[in-house]
Amino acid sequence: MLVKHIEGFLDYLRVEKNASALTLVSYRTDLTQLFSFLADKYSIPHDNVSADFLNHKSVREYLINMQEQGMSRSTMARKLAALRSFVRYLCRENILQNNPIAAVSTPKQDKRLPKFLYPLEIQLLLDAPDVSKPLGLRDKAILETLYAAGLRVSELVGLNVNNLYFDEEMIKVFGKGSKERIIPLGSQAISSLKEYLDKGRPYLQKSSTDILFLNKFGTRLSERSVRNIINKYVKEVALNQKVSPHTLRHSFATHLLNAGADLRSVQELLGHVKLSTTQIYTHITTENIQQVYHETHPRR
């Protein structure tokens, strides 16, 4: 029976692959949903789903079922990736003698380019907080740090004061899988962080803590709170689009590439494992490339 091997698989991901807690939860959910589908299809108990029921045909039917439920192709691809990883683990452990789903192809993905803000829009957003108030100083530091370092929102809220290295103009963050990386900080982000630490954070701090970004109760700010903060200022400056913390990360990468940064450096700054993940940003710099061409080519 395959269900009993899920825990061993998750332990393997946790120990050998240093998988994040979010990845483990997602994989557990994806595999549980697959086995529930197979159990319903073959009218057997969930725990009795064996390798005999896991094959090219049944997995294709599962993909069709997800499509009929209106799931996006990216969600379907992620669930299939979880299953593939699980099957490879079973083969590695000699629980399966061969890969029964090797011929299943990944659903073709929609090409969706990352949304980003133009430099002027970034300027409007970063200047929106009222820095005469402690919360405004905090919000200003949050926005400046997100854009200056291209952080994921989870990395931002996980920051502690000792992750800041002002003398070196660096910040230390822990990304996916608790992977550590050091990122340069610009002068404006450093200035905003110092202002917050000096004049804002003391008013929010209720007890001794090393947490960098505090909420009004003196505890760690949540990811949802950061999204709400951004939404607040997006409305104030009347930006005509949806903006998330990830939009600032996309803007960070896009602006670096437009200014001539090389792809490998941007990959390191973003904490991407694969260069192909970073390459998506090259598609949104086409306008800039065309402008350079028309301004510089002798036969334009």
Domain range list for the chain: 3-92, 119-292
Buried b (16+ CB within 10 A) or exposed e, 73-107: beebbbbbebbbbbbebbeeeeebeeebbeebeeb
Active-site residue identified among 60, 73, 78, 246: 246
73-92 and 6-16 helices, crossing angle to 10°: 90
Q: Is the fold of 3-92 the same as that of 119-292?
A: no
Amino acid at 300: R
Active-site residue identified among 79, 249, 250, 255: 249
**Catalytic status, residue 272:** yes
Mean pLDDT, residues 7-14 taken together: 90
Dig out the tokens for 151 from the structure.
Answer: 């952080």
Active-site residue identified among 79, 152, 250, 255: 152
By the 8 A CB rule, do 144 and 200 touch?
Answer: no
Q: What is the pTM of this model?
A: 0.62
Active-site residue identified among 89, 147, 196, 281: 281
Which segment of 13-22, 112-121, 135-144 scores lowest on mean pLDDT? 112-121
**Catalytic status, residue 118:** no
Active-site residue identified among 176, 181, 199, 227: 176
Mean pLDDT, residues 220-247 taken together: 91
Class of the CATH-defined domain 119-292: mainly alpha
**Catalytic status, residue 108:** no
**Catalytic status, residue 84:** no
Was domain 3-92 assigned CATH 1.10.150? yes
Is residue 62 predicted with pLDDT exceeding 80? yes
Using 50, 70 and 90 to split pLDDT, how confident is the model at 280? low
Dig out the tokens for 2 from the structure.
Answer: 């395959």
Tell me the pLDDT tens digit for each residue of 162-213.
999 999 999 999 887 778 889 999 999 999 999 999 999 999 999 999 999 9
